[in-house]
Amino acid sequence: MILLKSESDLIQFRKTGKIAAEILTRLIDTVRPGISTYEIAKEVEQWIRGDYDAIPSSIGQYGFKFALNSSINEVVCHGVPSPNEILKEGDILNLDVTVKKYGFIADTSRMYFVGNCNEEAIRLCKVTQECLYRGIEQAFEGKRLGDIGFQIHRHAIKNGYSIVKEFCGHGIGKNMHEEPQVLHYGKKNKGLKIEKGMTFTIEPMVNLGGAAIEELADGWTILTKDRKLSAQYEHTIAITEKGPEILTLREEEKDLIKSYSF
């Protein structure tokens, strides 16, 4: 069952999304060579609880213990922060944050460059972010979820990359995971019709090499099977009369999205 959100719901949801967006922006100055992913996670937990009087909703979610997922280089998603995982020059890092406040949960992630990264890594991240925006461009009332997946997959393949198909975006609201599932591949004009009031994430995972993945023994961390780089960007969006609204939009992105039709 899809839980459509009212305008009064969105008034509150926007405030939650703004917090999550601000946290990702604040992390730009935190990510640096020599810091551990554990330190980053603990700092984010302190921000969420202390600065925003909010809840780091990933803590306790399916038994997870940290305020964010930290996925470095060949880690596709669900990386677990560790004091032994020290960032080094040239790493790329995805930090995925969820925040609960005002009755709603916002979910968002972005890539970070640790010091100077090579052109191959920078291009992968750029194209992955473009995949996200191209997916959002399709999220209009009356279109279908397959339109979102089609555009994301096409852009990744056109640029020589592959899309991870085992994980997808999801409905979100008062609960972290709601209906519908939002695949990052698909066919035009296929799938569930998009309705005003839907709120869901789009979060493509794009691999430099093949699409195959594997899970570590920790039951969380997902790696590329060929150990080549992977990147991901994620936003929580709402479907409105005017089109998709990015509830977790960051100030730094506002110029980037001007060339897109949403």
Q: Is residue 125 part of a domain?
A: yes
Give how many domains the chain has, as a whole number. 1
CA distance linking residue 148 with residue 134, whole number of Å? 8
Q: Is residue 161 part of a domain?
A: yes
Q: How far from 31 is each of 102, 124, 222, CA to CA, in Å?
A: 28, 19, 21
CA distance linking residue 117 with residue 104, whole number of Å? 36
Q: Is residue 80 part of a domain?
A: yes
Handedness of CA 169, 174, 176, 177 (dihedral sign): negative
Q: Is residue 40 part of a domain?
A: yes
Rounded to two decimals, the pTM is 0.97
- In the chain, the amino acid numbered 85 is E
Q: Is residue 1 part of a domain?
A: no
Q: Is the pLDDT of residue 155 over 90?
A: yes
Q: Is residue 67 part of a domain?
A: yes
Cis, peptide link before residue 180, omega less than 30° from 0: yes
Q: Specify which residues 112 forms β-bridges with.
A: 93
Q: Is residue 2 part of a domain?
A: no
Contacts of 58 (CB under 8 A, 6+ apart): 64, 66, 67, 68, 69, 96, 97, 98
Contacts of 243 (CB under 8 A, 6+ apart): 139, 140, 141, 262
pLDDT tens across 44-62, in order? Answer: 999 999 999 999 999 999 9
Query: In this predicted structure, what is the pLDDT of residue 159?
Result: 98
The residue-averaged pLDDT of 209-237 equals: 97
CATH of the domain at 190: 3.90.230.10
SS (H, E, C) 171-211: ECCCCCCEEEEECCCCCCCCCCECCCCCEEEECCEEECCCC
| pLDDT band, very low/low/confident/very high, at 193 (cuts 50, 70, 90) | very high
Contacts of 28 (CB under 8 A, 6+ apart): 112, 252
Q: Is the pLDDT of residue 130 over 90?
A: yes
**Which residues form the domain of 48?**
7-259
Q: Is the pLDDT of residue 134 over 90?
A: yes
Q: Is the pLDDT of residue 262 over 90?
A: no
Query: In this predicted structure, what is the pLDDT of residue 223?
Result: 98
